[in-house]
């Protein structure tokens, strides 16, 4: 449970970084979301998830070796 809470905390930190670093860009991006099709949002979501998975795999590989 402790590990889960650490991971959850890291997710919130990472999710907040773009808003802290680039508030104007985030506002403009959030305004564009309603104009996107469901397929575009799914593709972006899939790409982000695959990027996260690649980071996890590379990190695990680099730590083990």
Confidence label for 1 from pLDDT (cuts 50, 70 and 90): confident
Its pTM stands at: 0.67
Q: What is the largest CA-CA distance in the chain?
A: 45
Encoded tokens for 16: 């907040």
Q: Of the candidates 40, 58, 13, which has an alpha carbon nearest to the alpha carbon of residue 29?
A: 40
Q: What is the pLDDT of residues 16-39, one digit of tens each?
A: 999 999 999 999 999 999 999 999
């Amino acid at each position: 449970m402790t590990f889960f809470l650490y991971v959850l905390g890291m997710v919130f930190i990472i999710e907040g970084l773009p808003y802290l670093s680039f508030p104007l860009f985030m506002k403009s991006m959030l305004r564009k979301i309603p104009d996107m099709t469901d397929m575009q949002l799914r593709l972006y979501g899939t790409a982000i998830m695959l990027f996260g998975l690649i980071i996890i795999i590379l990190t695990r590989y680099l730590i083990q070796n």
